[in-house]
Amino acid sequence: MKYFDYAATTPPDSDVVRTMAEIMEAHYGNPSSIHGYGERADQLLRRARSGCAAALGVKPEEIVFTSGATESNNLAIKGVALRYQTRGKHLITTATEHASVYESFLQLQQWGWEVTWLPVDSDGRVSTQQVMDALRPDTVLVSLMHVNNETGIIHPVAEIGNRLKSAAPRVLFHVDGVQAFGKLEAKPASWGADLYSLSAHKIRGPKGAGLLYVRSGVELTPLLSGGSQEQGMRAGTENVPLIVGMAKAMRLAAERQLAFAGRATVLRDRIMQTIETIPGLRMNSRKDGAPHIIHFSYPGMKAEVALHTLEQLGIIVSTQSACSSRSAEPSRVLLAMGRDAASASGGLRISLGNEHTEEDVALLEQALHQMVAQLRPLERR
Ligand code: PMP
């Protein structure tokens, strides 16, 4: 089997697994305890916090550890909306965000906030000008992903953040960096971002660990009531082993970023070229997108059928995003890009990781040809 679903999740790095196992067994103290066991755990936590902060170019006290990016996104969006509601109740996002962002805004809408859902163009992109045009005196938050998890399209977060900072400094800017970290440069503070979400399991770290960068001075209403951990923004005993694992995964991903992006781009371009030569398939990703994601539609076929055929041929890919792939609905992202229902329900995503080679890609290409040849007689017309 060849696994090409790194945007859904990645195999944890062996070094990361070893470190986490060691800490779980040997340093199980509660970092809030004041005895030696607690202090040792607190030291590990502090070191991990500094490591995560360094990888993002921010201060350690600006890092809030969470259970993953779903929680980070919920905390950023609802935490800001609740905290700053007297300033205004208008929020801006796009129609193509991850479910954890999309559903958070839907919930706020039900609770009485007003949300502007920016439309995207046929490549899935939103422009800086669209964001600026949507601003109102009562706008409190703009939330935008850096890289789209289905198509790999890159949003101009640095340009948007810097324009916002000069034109509307009171508007807070949240970036979902989950699919971008380790593939593109991640410097939220220099972009003028106030909040930045990240997930460990997309970068060879553990599932169930994530973080939210919260710029000094930004306040959030916590979503969980409890202890005063994480600067009072996220109650609950910190999961020290997973957090240390995430810090290590972030360091490795940052160190490998340039080399990975270079290698993945070559493989991605080759795969895109192959897909473009297969009649019946339609490319949804662009060559100026993220280096690790290739998304295409097979409008003649239901995506699940294509996915299982590829699996029988030894290739693992994904339909939509992992979080939505069990839903029977066509992709919300592709519909927002103006694709018809057949394309939106026939979408497949290939995503690359560190160890993929030219040989792996040759197997993938062979399987794609074989899949279409096998399914051709069954295509809907
Ligand atoms: N945002 C994006 C862009 C994602 O791709 C994902 C993972 N599918 C998430 C947020 C949620 O991350 P987690 O799995 O850590 O909750």
Let me know if domain 14-252 sits in CATH 3.40.640.10.
Answer: yes
State the ipTM, two decimals. Answer: 0.99
Instruction: Indicate whether residue 321 lines ligand 1 (CB < 6 A).
Output: yes
Instruction: Indicate whether residue 151 lines ligand 1 (CB < 6 A).
Output: no
Which residues are known catalytic residues? 323
Instruction: Indicate whether residue 229 lines ligand 1 (CB < 6 A).
Output: no
Q: Is 59 left (phi over 0), alpha (psi -120 to 50) or beta?
A: beta
The CA-based dihedral angle spanning residues 233, 238, 240, 245, taken in that order and rounded to the nearest 10 degrees: -50
Instruction: Indicate whether residue 72 lines ligand 1 (CB < 6 A).
Output: no
Query: 60, 50 in Cβ contact below 8 A?
Result: yes
Let me know if domain 2-8+256-378 sits in CATH 3.30.1490.20.
Answer: no
Task: Give the Å distance between the CA of 37 and the centre of ligand 1.
Answer: 33
Name the residue of 98, 104, 154, 321 to mutate for ligand 1: max ligand atoms within 8 A of Cβ: 98
Specify the residue with its C-alpha closest to ligand 1, atom 12. 69
pLDDT in tens, the chain (381 residues): 999 999 999 999 999 999 999 999 999 999 999 999 999 999 999 999 999 999 999 999 999 999 999 999 999 999 999 999 999 999 999 999 999 999 999 999 999 999 999 999 999 999 999 999 999 999 999 999 999 999 999 999 999 999 999 999 999 999 999 999 999 999 999 999 999 999 999 999 999 999 999 999 999 999 999 999 999 999 999 999 999 999 999 999 999 999 999 999 999 999 999 999 999 999 999 999 999 999 999 999 999 999 999 999 999 999 975 555 556 688 999 999 999 999 998 999 999 999 999 999 999 999 999 999 999 999 977
Break the chain into its structural domains and give their ranges.
Answer: 2-8+256-378, 14-252
Q: Which atom of ligand 1 is nearest to the CA of 7?
A: 5
